[in-house]
């Protein structure tokens, strides 16, 4: 991962000291909550239903063991013993006392972590592929470009007060694990016919009350022109984005209003005015950033591990874990291991302090000090020897981290919902737990195959329900919690927005309705068809009938 230099470190300490003074003035009553609010938000501190919530940035989802142990310490000393990983690869602590916030920022700064730009109308933490540097699918390491954007955007004076928050995702693989097409800017690294690298630039995707899959406004942007082009996009948005209406302030609304072609034209016009020599990254600086990502010292190993094969043959639980949670690595003899944070009865995305410490230990002993956070609220050990997989599995099992359900029906994305969030209309966590309970039979879950359920407690769509194969949206009906189902969404490379199935259901009917949807799918699917493929082939009606026919 990128190594902070002395300037980076001093900046974090200065920022923490500044916030300590602001908190002291608030606690002394010298400033009001209204005066304090923009100051705390600039440091990732929200005021939720029951307590302050601190959102900590995890740049491109990459952590080292020292950082993970520090997060465990914060969970234990300042929260209720756990943290919550989000769909943008950050971690949140939900039970923070205001007086403790500066001490926490100090502790984060000691390990090169912070909470800057995890809130506010600025460029947020850039997200990336959790398999970066490990998968053979990628044409370059997207973390390098994410770090370029991080350094460019952190406290950027021109873009620190945008019309609304601004989110960028970047991937270098054909398979999109970042939901790039529903970000304000999605950057897909491509290889040209001459071998050169460039970005397909997608602008104006997003969810919330007006969801859009973003259109491509530039098919191939040479990588060395990235920053000047981003500057042009942000300038057009900054100039025309609406600040008079929070619901129409995101760039997706501007792109939709102008049309992608006209928006692209204005960006090109703005881009032509920018001094490329000033704005774009010099080759030497890019080389410095690239070099700061230490090359992983892989061993030369045979592609086949006898110890691994023997363990699979003798242990059905291990074999199931390998089928569902282990992915191919670019280096022979290694594998990518996904750690599910979706055990039954668990809150999706939560990890206890003890589990964080286990993950840190495994990353240190078996994974080149590398741990990743996924968009789907799980963790990844990106580089594990096949020989070590049985030992890693045993350690994960002992820690309650070996649930073999990645991409299956119980691998549910869910926002904190009404259990924590001041904006939510309904609870998301109990609904996720009900569905996971309904599909606790792992044989059945594997038979169903890939099925992505995502749950949001309100229209702000933090649980990404719009791009779920089965989406669940919590709504308020005269003070009661109901849930609207949608089908056919995807946040992957085949991105699409789901369609509403029918009238909202009460909480106790949701898991049964999902079961009925799965039953309808199994009755009509063809060999190899995912739930999403079947839906796209047969349409909404068979599923609608399965859920609502009896009610009628």
Rg (CA), the chain: 23
Taking the CA of residue 155 as centre, how many other CA atoms within 13 Å lie in the half-sphere pointing to its CB? 8
Closest C-alpha to 474, from 519, 515, 419: 419
pLDDT tens digits for range 66-84 = 999 999 999 999 999 999 9
Task: Indicate the length of the chain as a whole number.
Answer: 552
Per-residue pLDDT at 110: 95
- Of residues 395, 289, 403, the one with CA closest to residue 339: 403
CA distances (Å), origin 274, targets 229, 269, 284, 298, 308: 9, 9, 21, 42, 55
What confidence tier does 551 reach under pLDDT thresholds 50, 70, 90? low
2-14 average pLDDT score: 85
pTM score, whole prediction: 0.95
Q: Count CA atoms within 13 Å of residue 403 on its CB side.
A: 26
Q: What is the DSSP letter of 140?
A: S
How confident is the model over 478-498, as a mean pLDDT?
97
Q: Which of 513, 179, 165 is nearest to 374 (CA)?
A: 179
Residue pLDDT, tens place only, 353-379:
999 999 999 999 999 999 999 999 999
233-272 tens-digit pLDDT: 999 999 999 999 999 999 999 999 999 999 999 999 999 9
Residue pLDDT, tens place only, 335-358: 999 999 999 999 999 999 999 999
Strands 453-456 and 168-171, by their bridges, are unpaired
């Amino acid at each position: 991962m990128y190594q902070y230099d002395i300037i980076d470190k001093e900046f974090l300490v200065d920022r923490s000291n500044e916030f300590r003074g602001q908190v002291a003035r608030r606690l002394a009553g010298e400033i009001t909550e209204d005066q304090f609010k923009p100051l705390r938000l600039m440091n990732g501190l929200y005021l939720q239903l029951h307590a302050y919530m601190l959102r900590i940035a995890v740049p491109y989802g990459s952590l080292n063991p020292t950082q993970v142990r520090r997060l465990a310490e914060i969970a234990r000393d300042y929260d209720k013993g756990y943290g919550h990983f989000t769909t943008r690869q950050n971690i949140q602590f939900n039970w923070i006392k205001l007086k403790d916030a500066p001490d926490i920022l100090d502790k984060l700064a000691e390990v090169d972590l912070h909470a800057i730009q995890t809130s506010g109308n600025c460029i947020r933490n850039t997200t990336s592929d959790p398999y970066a540097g490990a998968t053979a699918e990628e044409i370059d390491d997207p973390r390098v470009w994410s770090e370029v954007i991080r350094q460019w955007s952190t406290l950027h004076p021109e873009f620190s007060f945008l019309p609304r928050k601004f989110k960028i995702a970047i991937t270098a693989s054909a398979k999109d694990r970042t939901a790039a097409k529903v970000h304000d800017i999605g950057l897909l690294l491509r290889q040209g016919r001459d071998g050169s690298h460039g970005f397909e630039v997608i602008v104006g995707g997003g969810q919330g009350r007006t969801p859009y899959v973003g259109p491509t406004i530039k098919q191939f942007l040479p990588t060395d022109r990235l920053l000047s082009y981003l500057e042009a996009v942000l300038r057009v948005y900054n100039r025309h984005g609406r600040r008079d209406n929070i619901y129409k302030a995101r760039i997706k609304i501007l792109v939709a209003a102008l049309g992608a072609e006209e928006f692209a034209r204005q960006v090109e016009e703005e881009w032509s005015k920018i001094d490329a020599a000033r704005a774009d990254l010099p080759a030497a600086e890019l080389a410095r950033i690239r070099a700061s990502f230490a090359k992983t010292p892989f061993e030369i190993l045979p592609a086949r591990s006898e110890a691994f094969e023997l363990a699979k043959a003798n242990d059905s639980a291990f074999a199931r874990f390998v089928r569902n949670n282990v992915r191919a690595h670019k280096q022979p003899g290694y594998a990518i291991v996904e750690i599910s944070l979706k055990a039954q009865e668990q809150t999706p995305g939560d990890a206890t302090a003890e589990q964080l410490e286990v993950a840190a230990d495994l990353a240190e002993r078996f994974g080149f000090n590398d741990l990743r956070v996924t968009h789907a609220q799980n963790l990844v050990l990106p580089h594990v020897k096949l020989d070590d997989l049985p030992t890693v599995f045993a350690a994960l099992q002992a820690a309650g981290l070996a649930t073999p359900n990645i991409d299956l029906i119980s691998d549910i994305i869910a926002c904190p919902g009404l259990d924590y969030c001041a904006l939510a209309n309904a609870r998301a966590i109990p609904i996720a737990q009900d569905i996971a309970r309904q599909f606790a039979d792992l044989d059945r879950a594997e038979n169903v195959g890939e099925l992505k359920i995502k749950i949001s407690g309100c229209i702000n769509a933090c649980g990404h329900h719009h791009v779920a194969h089965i989406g669940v949206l919590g709504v308020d009906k005269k003070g009661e919690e109901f849930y609207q189902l949608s089908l056919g969404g995807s946040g992957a490379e085949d991105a699409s927005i789901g369609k509403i199935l029918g009238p909202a259901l009460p909480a106790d009917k949701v898991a049964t309705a999902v079961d009925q949807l799965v039953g309808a799918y199994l009755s009509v699917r063809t060999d190899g068809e995912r739930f999403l493929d079947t839906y796209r082939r047969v349409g909404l009606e068979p599923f609608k009938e399965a859920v609502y026919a009896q009610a009628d």
